[in-house]
Amino acid sequence: MVRERALAEAMALLDEGPQALTLSAVARGIGLSTPALYTHFVNRDALLEEVRQTALDRMQTERQPPDAAVCPAEALHDEAHSFIAFARQNPALYRIVFAPSHPTADNGACLRDGALTPLTQAVDRAQAAGFAPGQDAEAVAALIWVTLHGAIMLALDGTLPGAEDARWDMAERSLSLLLSRLETPAAT
């Protein structure tokens, strides 16, 4: 019970900014003393890592499974665009999953399980329907991820030009452009 309350409080504090998340702030937010919270989390990094895993689980739960009635290329578009939607709605959680500021021990598991594996599976299904013919599915998924994550981080950081809505629109359009180019067979 305390762990779950602490994780929820930590996620709420992350929305205020990473500097707002301290063990004492979490303890205060859930009505515990800081020493009592240390019995559940050895340090801030341990708390952040549990928040990271919880955020990944939430992201995976919120993403819709591919609809069997939707063509595989469209399902791939939906899968890829779901990352942008999650990042826009949950910027702090997106950052902690895919751009953590603390040391992690998962050896890329969040990236692999949270992004690359689902994208590779979606590319595999789409290739069976003619998407990105003759290309390595893992390489295509990595290309999509690099574009997608780069666009998201640029939108989150305010580096893309324009107001917030314009930045997210540019991220969406960049991803759509890449996917449309992969749909088109190369001219010979």
Per-residue confidence (pLDDT) for residue 104, from 0 to 100? 79
Question: For 3-38, how does the pLDDT look when each residue is reduced to its tens digit (9 = 90+)?
Answer: 999 999 999 998 888 788 899 999 999 999 999 999
For residue 142, give both structure tokens: 């990595």
- Banded pLDDT at 135 (limits 50, 70, 90): very high
Architecture label for domain 2-42: Orthogonal Bundle (1.10)
Residues of the chain with CATH 1.10.10: 2-42
90-122: buried (b, 16+ CB within 10 Å) or exposed (e) per residue? Answer: bbbbbbbbbebeeebeeeeebbeebbbebbbbb
pTM, to two decimals: 0.86
Question: For 42-71, how does the pLDDT look when each residue is reduced to its tens digit (9 = 90+)?
Answer: 998 899 889 988 988 888 888 766 666 788
Sign, Cα dihedral of 141, 78, 60, 175: positive
Write the CA distances from 177 to 69, 73, 105, 174, integer angstroms. Answer: 24, 14, 35, 5
For residue 69, give both structure tokens: 């009635």
Q: What is the mean pLDDT of residues 69-78?
A: 87
